[in-house]
Amino acid sequence: MNNNKVQAIVEKVKELVQRGNVSRIVVRKGERVLLNTPVNVGIVGGVGPHAGLDLTRKLFDHTRAEADQEHLPVMLYSFPDRIGERPAFLLGKTADNPGEAIGDIMAELARAGATVIGMPCNTAHWFYDDLCLRTHLPVLHMLRLTADHLERTGVNTVGLLATDGTIQTGIYENLLSGRGIRVIKPDAPGQRQVMSAIYDGVKAGNLGAIDVAALRCTLDAMIAQGAECFVLGCTELPIVFAQCELPYPVADPTQILAEAAVSFAGYPVKKM
């Protein structure tokens, strides 16, 4: 087979994967099978480690399957020691660009056989365009998927809960305002409570350190300002809300990403 034909096959495979809803790619020449591979979901873990596990669990939870063999193939690469602190870089507190390490991990996932990538870190999506230049694989954009979800549900005003870095970038506000959705953010004391829940709670492995009463006061104040639901704009926050049993309406980007990845890979989505 000459190089032109090989390249044509490669481009066709890329086109199919980019289109999504493909669970397996089979290339035949007559009766001979040249390629037979499933669509493998690659997860950039370690941003943070618990968030990678949460996405992995939600991938399985949201796949309609009745046996082990009916679940989609998933590759979780969790190397937290290699990836610098995302908010600290965006706030100018460190020169260690985490995008470099994330790009390297995406390349490793591609070499290992991943065919689509999910990144369970809201702040890291600030590097999304640069990261896409470093891989030929489709990278699902969790924040755009979340904005699309909110637009479909008809929400007019949301409360944004996120790291200082994510809020400073304005990435969510830009995506949501373009869809006519107003964004309410916590006041300064409330933002400190959100950051404490993320860093002193989940990232430190000490959920008991979360001041649940103070956090609820912050959420109640945002509802009083008109928030119809909360965007859990840090992938540690779904863990906080679940473990602390916070009874508020939310848009969970990790869950939205999981459902999108399951659908993209051609598997039936189970709504919960």
Q: What is the pLDDT of residues 34-65, one digit of tens each?
A: 555 668 899 999 999 999 999 999 999 999 99
Q: Which two tokens stand for residue 149?
A: 């979800």
DSSP-derived letter for residue 40 is: P
Contact 241, 216 (CB under 8 A): no
Q: In this predicted structure, what is the pLDDT of residue 110?
A: 93
Provide the residue-wise pLDDT of the chain in tens; the chain has 272 residues: 556 664 565 566 556 555 554 555 655 566 765 555 668 899 999 999 999 999 999 999 999 999 999 999 999 999 999 999 999 999 999 999 999 999 999 999 999 989 899 999 999 999 999 999 999 899 999 999 999 999 999 999 999 999 999 999 999 999 999 999 999 999 999 999 999 999 999 999 999 999 999 999 999 999 999 999 999 999 999 999 999 999 999 999 999 999 999 998 888 999 87
Beta bridge mates, 41: 74, 116
Beta bridge mates, 75: 42
Q: In this predicted structure, what is the pLDDT of residue 265?
A: 86
Q: How far apart are the C-alpha atoms of 55 and 259, rounded to whole Å?
A: 10
Q: In this predicted structure, what is the pLDDT of residue 39?
A: 81
Contact 170, 162 (CB under 8 A): no
Q: Which two tokens stand for residue 271?
A: 């709504």
Q: In this predicted structure, what is the pLDDT of residue 20?
A: 52
Q: In this predicted structure, what is the pLDDT of residue 223?
A: 98
Q: How far apart are the C-alpha atoms of 29 and 33, rounded to whole Å?
A: 6
What is the CA 198 to chain-centroid distance, rounded? 16
SS3 of residue 196 by DSSP: helix
Whether 121 sits among the annotated catalytic residues: the reply is yes
Catalytic annotation, pick one of 121, 132, 217, 229: 121
Contact 226, 264 (CB under 8 A): no
Q: Which two tokens stand for residue 207?
A: 């959920």
Q: In this predicted structure, what is the pLDDT of residue 84?
A: 95
Q: C-alpha distances in angstroms, 140 versus 58, 100, 146?
A: 15, 18, 11
Q: In this predicted structure, what is the pLDDT of residue 37?
A: 60
Catalytic annotation, pick one of 132, 229, 234, 244: 234
User: What angle is formed at CA 272 by the lines to CA 65 and CA 171, rounded to 5 degrees?
Assistant: 110
